[in-house]
Amino acid sequence: MSVNPKNMLNKSKNLNKRVDIDEICLDGVTVDDLKFRGDNYKQYIHLHSLLENVSSCQVSDAFNSISRRSGVIQEIKPVNNQKVYGRIFTAETTSDDWGTSALAIDAAQEDDILFFKVDNDDKAIWGELASICARDNGIKATVIYGSARDLDALLYIDYPIFSTNFCPNAGSALGLGSLNEPLDINGFKVNPGDFFIGDECGVVVIPQELFAKTMVGALGVKIKELNIINKLSQGATLSEIAGFEKK
């Protein structure tokens, strides 16, 4: 890449900079601002300042206020209790086929979150070796509507995993699944590019077209909860704050 003033300016920007909650401004933010593109420094910093300070619970509350849906896929739970957020790269296969996992790792972009729909959880399509490979490729996390294995390693690896189940056995390296196509999980739609956030409480998927509204809502939820905590510290009770009258 040639060196020019714009490239030098971008390299000098601190992408780890964060602003306080009460200073966050989400004007003009879109789901594309999850990645730094050179001309979106403010949006990138403010968006990540929010996402590093909100939980899946607060994002779900915000989404529910907008759409009357929670965004939660109840069956999928955290394996190693690590928080992660980002855009989804989808894959669909059978439990006999862990080879599609290898293909998905190669096809996904840096900072993507792999999201697998598997037809059964009787065999694992993901484990320690896949996690190491994905992490080293810059992928942020793996989510499996199906089974993972190698929990002795996954519990301690610096790579977030979410799944519906786990088991010790695996299938074969078939590579017959589909990549980056829309998924239907018992009526729940998951599309490539949708937003994902997962943590100790579970997972939330937000359609990319509702991302901006949900982020603004999540900021509102966070500020409201901080105000409640402040009132509690000053001696108010939760029932008083909620507006319940004493009988």
DSSP codes, 144-213: EEEEE--HHHHTTSSS-EEEEEE-S-B-B----SEES--EEETTEEE-TT-EEEEETTEEEEE-GGGHHH
Q: Quick one: CA dihedral 183, 187, 193, 196, positive or negative?
A: negative
Question: 172 and 124 in one domain?
Answer: yes
Together in a domain, 83 and 128: yes
- The reply to whether 202 and 220 lie within a common domain is no
Relative orientation angle of helices 99-107 and 128-136, to the nearest 10 degrees? 10
Same domain, 163 and 176: yes
CATH, residue 105: 3.50.30.40
Report the pLDDT averaged over residues 9-34: 90
In this structure, are 161 and 136 located in the same domain? yes
Total tally of structural domains belonging to the chain: 2
Asked if residue 141 and residue 103 are part of one domain, the reply reads yes
At 67, list the tokens: 């759409």
Whether residues 114 and 50 share a domain: the answer is: no
Does 233 reside within a domain?
no
Asked whether residue 230 is assigned to any structural domain, the reply reads no
Q: Is residue 244 part of a domain?
A: no
How far is the C-alpha of 116 from the C-alpha of 126, rounded, in Å?
10
- Same domain for 139 and 119: yes
Q: How far apart are CA 150 and CA 19, in angstroms?
A: 38
Q: What is the mean pLDDT of residues 47-53?
A: 98
* Mean pLDDT calculated for residue range 71-90: 98
What span, in angstroms and rounded, lies between the C-alpha atoms of 166 and 147?
A: 4
In tens, the pLDDT along 208-234 reads 999 999 999 999 999 999 999 999 999
pLDDT per position as a tens digit, 124-180 = 999 999 999 999 999 999 999 999 999 999 999 999 999 999 999 999 999 999 999
Q: Assess whether 87 and 195 both reside in one domain.
A: yes
Does residue 81 share a domain with residue 49?
A: no
120 pLDDT above the threshold of 60: yes
Collect all residues with Cβ–Cβ distance below 8 Å to 137 and sequence separation of at least 6.
Answer: 105, 106, 108, 110
Mark whether 183 and 216 lie in a shared domain.
Answer: no
- Asked if 30 and 93 sit in the same domain, the reply is no
- Across the strands, what pairs with 196? 86, 205
- Whole domain around residue 179: which residue ranges? 77-206
